[in-house]
Amino acid sequence: MAFQSSVNPAQLTVPGSDNFGADRRALYLKLFSGEMFKGFQNNTIARDLIMKRTLKNGKSLQFIFTGRTKSEFHTPGNSILGDTNGAPPVAEKTITCDDLLISSAFVYELDEVLAHYDLRSEISRKIGYALAEKYDRLAFRAITRGARKASPITATNYVEPGGTQIRVGTTANDSDAYAAANLVSAFYDAAAALDEKGVSSDGRVAVLNPRQYYELIQAVGTNGLVNRDVQGTALQSGNGIIEIAGIKIYKSMNIPFLGKYGTAYGGTTGVTDPGNTGSFVAEALENASDASTGINNDYGTAAEVGTKSCGLIFQKEAAGMVEAIGPQVQVTSGDVSVIYQGDVMLGRLACGCDYLNPAAAVELYVGAAAPSTF
């Protein structure tokens, strides 16, 4: 026989109830776990993959290109006074600093007093993510532009190699961009093209979107990219592909991809929208060539970048970033804080990016025709 308490439930003191309400736990403290969902965070990678220079006491930075010269056999008795064409030819590329890029938030002092977690550190982290995301997007658009350009050295008989565009797959479907076999073939084509154009093998990298990256990982063992003896651990860790043809692979949601940033759903992509993706996934490309918005370099309009680009392969000479003000956070204090009873937290960055050596840039694309120059 089961034991039953003789105490009437109506007589029990319920310290968690609000005025004898039905919820017995209404007044219990909601403990903070010490963790917060960081939302949508991107791996910001471009800063270490391209040429970065500090800009001081000027609005732009000049990069000098020197072309090739020729060799010849000396004729006895002839004076040696240099190449008759004055080789090597020289050209320049100038990168201008864009206007100040900022991200800010106002922190009300009373909210900080009441909050049971570190409000400022979390806000500053999100400000940093916003700046880094823009940094990567501008850099990858500059590399895309460079892959479609001829070399600045265009002197007769001394024309230097320009950018490269490589088709992924053979159909008209965007789904070709996700086929592992197509990507592997494109990587080897790109490596050969870079070799043929005299681009150094040091510092060659590729940036794909996450689904492309994971398609490659799923195909290990059948495409010969990873040794079967080590693929188990590598596959499960999500780092199964280290490099293809000497090209180290990164994944990013900030590359131009089929008219979006990072990923595209529906249509002929063969990728189903997973749902609940929020406002920051599969963002459409914006126009980024209007000086009135603070942009002083040509990153192209959405139409110019197009809807067929699906990956980048490049060497660090492909693009340059000039930084007048490196990424930093500023916080108000003193009288300003007293007047407004809070502080403005400001992240700022002054930089500009453009392609440098087009020969070092390769754009992957799908469809019958390569995207046009812009």
Per-residue pLDDT reduced to its tens digit, 126-138: 888 999 999 999 9
Q: How confident is the model at residue 228 (pLDDT cuts 50, 70, 90)?
A: very low
The residue type found at 77 is G
CB atoms near residue 280 (< 10 Å) = 13
Q: What is the mean pLDDT of residues 197-208?
A: 96
Per-residue pLDDT at 211: 95
Using CA atoms, how far apart are residues 120 and 134, in angstroms rounded to an integer? 22
pLDDT at 235 over 60: no
Q: Is 223 exposed, middle or buried (0-12, 13-18, 19+ CB in 10 A)?
A: middle
Q: What is the mean pLDDT of residues 66-73?
A: 84
Per-residue pLDDT at 2: 58
Q: How far is CA 290 from the centre of its chain?
A: 21
Per-residue pLDDT at 8: 65
Q: Per-residue pLDDT tens for 120-166?
A: 888 888 888 999 999 999 999 999 999 999 999 988 888 999 999 99
Higher pLDDT among residues 28 and 197, named by residue: 197
CATH superfamily of domain region 46-365: Major capsid protein gp5 (3.30.2400.10)
Percentage with pLDDT > 90 across the chain: 54
Q: How confident is the model at residue 241 (pLDDT cuts 50, 70, 90)?
A: low
Which stretches within 107-204 are classed as H helix?
A: 109-114, 119-147, 180-196
Domain ranges of the chain: 46-365
Query: Which of 45-54, 60-69, 182-191, 272-281: highest mean pLDDT?
Result: 182-191
pLDDT at 63 over 90: no
Which two three-digit tokens encode residue 237? 């860790």
Q: Per-residue pLDDT tens for 313-325?
A: 999 999 999 999 9
Give this prediction's pTM. Answer: 0.86
pLDDT at 296 over 90: yes
Per-residue pLDDT at 67: 85
Q: Per-residue pLDDT tens for 242-278?
A: 789 999 999 999 999 999 999 999 999 999 999 999 9
Percentage with pLDDT > 70 across the chain: 87
Comparing C-alpha atoms, which of 209, 295, 322, 299 is closest to residue 258? Answer: 209
Per-residue pLDDT at 217: 83
Per-residue pLDDT at 87: 78
Give rounded-to-5 percent helix, strand, coil for the chain: 25, 25, 50
Per-residue pLDDT at 38: 59
CA distance from start to end of the chain: 86
Per-residue pLDDT at 355: 96
Per-residue pLDDT at 186: 97
pLDDT at 309 over 80: yes
Q: What is the mean pLDDT of residues 326-353?
A: 89
Phi, psi of 123 (to 5 degrees): -65, -40
Q: How confident is the model at residue 84 (pLDDT cuts 50, 70, 90)?
A: confident
Per-residue pLDDT at 7: 61
Higher pLDDT among residues 231 and 354, named by residue: 354
Query: Which of 10-19, 230-239, 264-273: highest mean pLDDT?
Result: 264-273
Per-residue pLDDT at 9: 62
